[in-house]
Amino acid sequence: MIVLGVDPGTLITGYGIIESRNGKVKVLSSDAIKNDSTKSMPLRLKLIYTRLAEVINKYHPDEFAIETAFYGKNAQSALKLGHARGVAMLAAVSHEIPTQEYSPREVKKAIVGNGNASKQQVQYMVKSLLKLKQVPKYYDTTDAIAVALCHLQRVIQPRRRFKDWKSFVTVHPEKLSSSHKSRKQ
């Protein structure tokens, strides 16, 4: 399975393409789409769309994962981020690629184990998990790889929800303490 992960932004959009085959995951490509701040918004959006479409045509990903917008900044920033997310998703759905969104907190929790992890922690874990010789130049690229890894984790190992404790114990008897097992017998 090949997954394209995207960390959208109007000035820098990071992307990472990972492949999972036979239980091994490797990065096929990763980079940042850099826009000039002096360019108009429509031209920035066109570049994001065009470059992602080129990446899609080259690597033919099976799945597309993108980071959702966060609301910590101002309304204008959220609006601009929404534009970048929109053209990135359009590139994926135009190529009929199944698309999934993940919150920054969800991605950090999946990769680092902590939803409040820093960008440096995410970068370190991406480098460690994928045994990269060097880290990407931009955090946006590392974040995009992390989004792809998060998606891969969700697809390959979907979180199993249990309706009650008994259902959990039935599936995971090894989780019971030895004293509890002896009382049960």
Out of 62, 140, 143, 164, the active site residue is 140
How far apart CA 184 and CA 172 sit, in angstroms, is: 15
Distance (Å, whole) CA 184 – CA 73 = 54
Q: Tell me which amino acid residue 131 is.
A: K
**7 catalytic per annotation:** yes
Query: Is 174 a residue of the active site?
Result: no
Annotation says 140 is catalytic: yes
From 116, 140, 135, select the one nearest 48 (Cα to Cα).
140
- State the catalytic residue, choosing from 31, 63, 67, 143: 67
Residue among 7, 19, 31, 143 flagged as catalytic: 7
Torsion sign over Cα 63, 152, 147, 12 = negative
Which positions are annotated as active-site residues? 7, 67, 140
